[in-house]
Every structure is written in C-alpha cells, then in structure tokens.
Structure 1
Amino acid sequence: MTVDVSRGGLLVTLAIFGVIIYELRTVLDFVGVKLPLIPYMIAVFALAGVLLWIITLKGGWQTDDERTDPT
C-alpha cells in the first residue's frame, strides 16, 4: 500500500501545524503561562519524524516513475 501524498504537501502541512502551535504558545505566554521553546521544537521534529516513519511503513512515496503503464 502506498501513500498518495506529495512531499511538498506534507512539508506545507507540517509548517502550518508548527506555526499554529507556536501561535498557541504565544497566546498562552500572553495569558501568563510560560512555556519553554526547546520542548516545542523537539515535539515538532518528533511529529515530522513519526509521520515520515509511518509513510515509509505504508510503502513510501508514490511517484510517477513507480506507476505501472496501462498498456
């Protein structure tokens, strides 16, 4: 089974998710809840690693070269 998602789409999704979480951290800092930056960065990189691992387990990236010719 292959995952039909582009690498660019995954990277954009991770970037958007990272910005949303960072803004949530900023709002919590404004409210008075201080959160350190290092655990946030570790969590974002861990999420990216887990997603890449899952995609690799599911069969990797689907590219045009790997598709079978219909003829």
Structure 2
Amino acid sequence: MTVDVSRGGLLVTLAIFGVIVYELRTVLDFVGVELPLIPYMAAVFILAGATVWFITLKGGWRTEPEGDKPA
C-alpha cells in the first residue's frame, strides 16, 4: 500500500484539524469545562509526527504530479 499525498495537502489538513479541535476547546471553555492548553499542543504535535512517520513508512511523499504530459 502506498500513500499518495503531497506535503502541502497534509499540512493544510493538519492545520484545519488543529483549528477545529482548538475551537471545540474554546466552546467547552465558554460552557464552563476548562481544558489546559499544554496537553492540546502536545497532542497536535504527536498527531503531526505520527502522520509524517506513517507517510514516510508507507512510501514517502508524492513529488511529481501524474497529470498531463506535454505533447
């Protein structure tokens, strides 16, 4: 199995996921459930590291687009 993903796509996906989780944390804080910031930051870095490790393990990054070839 190969993982066909670009670095930019991965970074955008991780950024969107991180913002969604942070906003959920903010909403919970508004409701009254206070969560510390340090475990959240550690979890985001661990998730990013595990994702990069998994992609490297399964075949690496896509560097050449497989689109149209010039005539």
- Normalised by the length of structure 2, the TM-score is 0.85
Aligned match of 2:27 = 27
Q: Could you tell me how far apart the structure 2 residues matched to 1:28 and 1:37 are? A: 12
1:9-35: CA deviation from partner (whole Å, max 9, x where unpaired): 100000000000000000000110000
Q: Could you tell me how far apart the structure 1 residues matched to 2:63 and 2:21 are? A: 31
Structure 1 stretches lacking a partner, 5+ long: 65-71
Structure 2 stretches lacking a partner, 5+ long: 65-71
- Count of paired positions: 65
- Give aligned-pair identity as a percent: 84
Contact 1:3 1:59 in 2 (8 A): yes
Aligned match of 2:50 = 50
Q: Could you tell me how far apart the structure 1 residues matched to 2:15 and 2:36 are? A: 19
- Normalised by the length of structure 1, the TM-score is 0.85
Letter in 1 for 2:16: I
Going by fraction, where is helix more abundant, 1 or 2?
1
Contact 1:2 1:61 in 2 (8 A): no
